[in-house]
Chain A
Amino acid sequence: MARRKISGKADLVRGTLDMLILKTLSLEPLHGLGVSKRIDQISGGVFTVKPGSLFPALHRLEQEGWVRGTWGESENKRRAKFYELTPDGRRRLGEERASWGQAVRAITKVLEAT
């Protein structure tokens, strides 16, 4: 389904959602809504992660063993599933960052070529 891009918002670069989630969770354990809010907030409102992408990604990461979900209580006393980074997840984040950095450097080089 084609969605018109709202000005000031960018589509997530393909394949980077996992990395963003892992990075967000590396700061502190969060529940689903927390993750999407944090990404929105850190990116200055540029990236919005819809639940339709967020939950599939979270569950996938959990199955891969990179994050671990535990049921806890939210700030307003609601039961919620909190996700935290596992050691495997931390390693994975490192890998993703490295390859992302490589890609960015390469793209920059191409763009700056005269």
Chain B
Amino acid sequence: MWTGMWFSVACKRIVGTLRSILRKEDLDLELDTELRSYLDLVADEKMLGGMSRDDAYRQARIELGGVEQVKEKVRDRRVGARLDVLLQDLHYAGRDLRKNVGFTVVAVTILAVGIGATTALFSNVHSVLVRGVGYPEADRLVILRKSFDGRNSGPLSRLDYYDFRDSSETLEDIASFATYGLGAVLSDGPTPERIRVGFATWNLFSILGARPILGRGFLLSDEEVGGSNAVLISEGLWKRRFGSSSDAAGATIRIDGMARTIAGVLPGTFRFIDEADVWVLIDRDGPFDPLRDQHSVLGLGRITSSATLDQARVEMEGIAARLAKIYPDTNAGKSVSLTPLQDYMVRNVRLGLLLLMATTVLVLILACGNVAGLFLSRGERRMSEMAMRSALGASRGRLVRQLLTESLLLTSFAGILGVGIAYLLNGLILRLIPIGEIGIDRPAIHATALWFAVFISIGTGLLVGLVPALRTAGKRPAEHIWSGARSSATGRSATLRSGLVVLQVAVSIALLVASGLMIRSLANLSAAELGFDTDHLLTGNVQVQGSDYGTPEETVRFFVDLRDEIASQPGVVSAALISKLPIINPWTDWGIWPADAPPPSARDMDYAMARYVSSGYFETMGIPLIAGRDIRPSDRMGTEDVVVISESTARTLFGDEAALDRLVGIGWTERSFRIVGVVGDAKLNLVRDDANRAMYMAMAQGGASFMNLAVRTTADPESLSGQIEDIVRGRDPNALFADAVSMESVLSEDLAGFRTVIMSLALFAGLAMALTAIGLYGVLAYHVGTRRREFGIRRAVGATDGAVLGMVLGRGLSLVGIGLLAGLAVAYPGTLLVRQLLVETTPIDPLSNAGAVGFLVLVAAGACLVPALRATRTDIMQVLRTE
């Protein structure tokens, strides 16, 4: 019954709306007649009272309160009046914008760039930080890492993982995995190929909700001892090696010489943390040792739908406390920390993205400032029009609405254009920020981003139009007519525009200071003390297949001979091998302790980056030998185990005592190592970090089928890579030499993401400067325009050019000065926020601050100069003639 009534009312409304629009003229005509008859009736009465006809009608009209005003009020209250008014406003707005093509083009362009950039960045921020990883119900996925007393996050121990998996009730299932870009050689087919291997427990893929596009996924039974030796391969490898043939499922491939059966093919869209061509089951033969104080796998858990993250965390603490009681030696103080998968995956790009987003929004605000300024000055010129409309019966609300329609129409155009620009920029941003590399689908502009564009278009429309509209429509018509051309009214709106300029200067200086800081910090990074010499250094890696060599000694001999042959090549100064190169292969730290005491418990252990090196490594890298000797070719299997430690490792272990000749225990080697040398500290993991503690053991006393090569050259390092590849192949046709690249280019790539953020920031700062300069110019030009008569008179009575110039410049620069002070005050806390991105530069960096201020003042002075010069050219006669 209610719906029925509602329906009939709605129908009436619609019919009424249509009628009042379609029959508008009839209705207006009728209203006109009605009001005239009303006047007649009132006048009749007055004439009966003895008034003259003219007086009676005059009086009647006064009592009516303006025929046009009453008509307008009736029209406003009609059903559908709003729609009608809107159509009318759109019509007027379109006409006005068409009439002022220059104004429209400038305003639309400025806003479109602002809206486009903001939309593109929003779409990225939204994809990466909000929508995130593309797994089903990804918000319930968490990464498990170990922690000691709440810090020292890192991989889990495999045994702890089993305990957590089996005891947890808040986590549906937990998988473990290791994807450090581990390499292997795929040896069947015409040429061996180096592939990336990921290790995982069988349930990783079911937790992630990934289904193979061919064959089957892992099964629990695959994991049993003597299981099926199954692997999953990527769609890319499937295409490369099998030409997308369905025969691939069940086929055998040889990885590092070992036969494996392909169980299934993962879809090309599947990506998890690091890319992998082949996924191998961790529990059959991953390179992981079964000790509780060895931490080498990460966990991935899915929280049950009935539990919360906090509940799961509490449960983890409980399980950890129980384990600590059972295994006090290894698990005291140890727990598992849960990080939402999303947060874990975006950790490296979050700050940069948010910074860019904030910057873009600031630039959009600047653009709004400029367009609002344009509207304000246009409003001044339209005062007479508005006064006229007001006299003809338009209410103030109606005028404001009409002006707002204009600015909204304008920003809608800008919004549509902006979306186009956003598509262009999105491609650019994707190329600049390594979003694909963090394991997240590349963001596309999607519905949410488009809604965002609509939202900010309307927002900017209101922002840009509201104040000018209120200002313009606020005047009473009579006041305008009395005040003549322009005087009191212009004063207030000039103040408003000046305020806008001050705001723009403030934002610009904040952006300039920030980008100045970042650029300085980039310069610091490039010159950062890495602890080794990057000049003329070629790096690469050599992989042999373990099964080709009977004993570890044979593998070692291959590498030693290879090094000797490379070192003897013309153009090569020296060559060396290491298990992990600085920056290129980060992490892997092992415990180290003086061997005269029992090994400390895991929580008190000192850790250092563990590396195996050949002789000549320190010389090749340019790492200074501070005491003792280098690793020698004579340090081999069967002789005393030796280690070279870095200065900071020595200081940590022995304080001021001499470290040389002491014995240390290392990791889980169950051997004692004699410290034979101490070398300088170097950055092994991140350029933007401190140098790392390190220990270097002898390659010949460890043995591996994969080593990295460092070659110091006299010529261009990368020109030698072909020659070295030939040598490697000549010694072992199954060996692979890969990733040959100069250390210089590795470092510049490492800084690329950082540089991108800086470049964009600088670009935005430049854009902000340009917008500010335009705004400043506009304000001063207008200012000079209104004071032409005054300047003319001043010049006529003898003011020099310099005095007039000084007056205008003084006004412009005083605005700049206020903005500068405000901006610097805001910039300081702002730069504290970006501190995480800064290296060796404090937020109050006098050089970059002074540079930014100087640059801005220079540009501002340039923008002021043109109107100022025009002021000096005012000719009193001309002014008088035009007035």
Contact = CB atoms under 8 A, between A and B. Distances in A.
A56 B37 contact: no
A52 B12 contact: no
Contact of B78 (A31, A33, A63, A76): A63
A56 B31 CA distance: 10
Contacts of B91: none
Interface in A68-98: 74, 76, 78-81
B41 interface: yes
A29 interface: no
Given A65-B12, A81-B37, A55 B42 contact: no
B41 A59 contact: no
Contact of A78 (B12, B35, B41, B63): B41
Contacts of B79: 60, 63-64
B38 interface: yes
A50 interface: yes
Given A52-B70, A56-B76, A31 B65 contact: no
B553 interface: no
A60 B78 contact: yes
Contacts, number: 67
Contact of B38 (A51, A53, A56): A51
Interface in B11-58: 12, 16, 20, 30-31, 33-35, 37-38, 40-42, 44
Nearest to A58: B74
Given A51-B65, A56-B76, A32 B38 contact: yes
A31 to B, nearest CB: 7
Nearest to A32: B38
A74 B42 CA distance: 12
Contacts of B63: 51
Contact of B40 (A56, A65, A78): A78
A80 B63 CA distance: 18
A63 B70 contact: no
Interface in A43-63: 50-53, 55-57, 59-60, 63
Contact of B65 (A50, A59, A78, A81): A50
B16 A63 contact: yes
Given A33-B41, A80-B41, A55 B34 contact: yes
Nearest to B67: A51
A56 B42 contact: no
A55 B74 contact: yes
Give chain B's interface secondary structure class. helix
A52 B38 CA distance: 12
B557 interface: no
Contacts of A31: 37-38, 41
B64 interface: yes
B347 interface: no
B37 A59 contact: no
B69 A52 contact: yes
Contact of B41 (A50, A57, A64, A74): A74
B73 A63 contact: no
B881 interface: no
A8 B35 CA distance: 28
B77 interface: yes
Nearest to A34: B41
B38 A60 contact: no
Nearest to A81: B34
Contacts of A52: 64-65, 69-70, 73
Contacts of B38: 31-33, 51, 55, 80
Interface string A13-54: 000000000000000000111000000000000000011110
B70 A51 contact: yes
A50 B42 CA distance: 13
Interface in B403-458: none
A11 B30 CA distance: 30
Interface in B384-403: none
Nearest to A56: B77
A55 B78 contact: no
A14 to B, nearest CB: 15
Contacts of B16: 63-64
Contacts of B33: 79, 81
B4 to A, nearest CB: 15
Contacts of B40: 78
A57 to B, nearest CB: 7
A59 B27 CA distance: 10
A50 B31 CA distance: 16
A50 B79 CA distance: 21
A56 B41 contact: no
A2 B73 CA distance: 18
B20 A79 contact: no
Given A52-B65, A55-B70, A78 B37 contact: yes
A56 B34 CA distance: 12
A63 B74 contact: no
Given A52-B73, A64-B79, A78-B40, 12 more contacts: A31-B41, A32-B38, A51-B63, A55-B38, A56-B73, A56-B76, A57-B77, A59-B74, A59-B78, A60-B77, A65-B12, A76-B44
Interface of A: 31-33, 50-53, 55-57, 59-60, 63-65, 74, 76, 78-81
24 contacts: A33-B38, A33-B42, A51-B64, A51-B65, A52-B64, A52-B70, A53-B73, A55-B31, A55-B34, A55-B35, A55-B38, A55-B70, A56-B74, A56-B76, A59-B77, A60-B77, A63-B20, A63-B78, A74-B41, A76-B44, A78-B40, A80-B34, A80-B38, A80-B41
A-B residue pairs, 8 tightest by C-beta? A56-B77, A56-B73, A80-B37, A33-B41, A56-B74, A63-B79, A81-B34, A60-B77
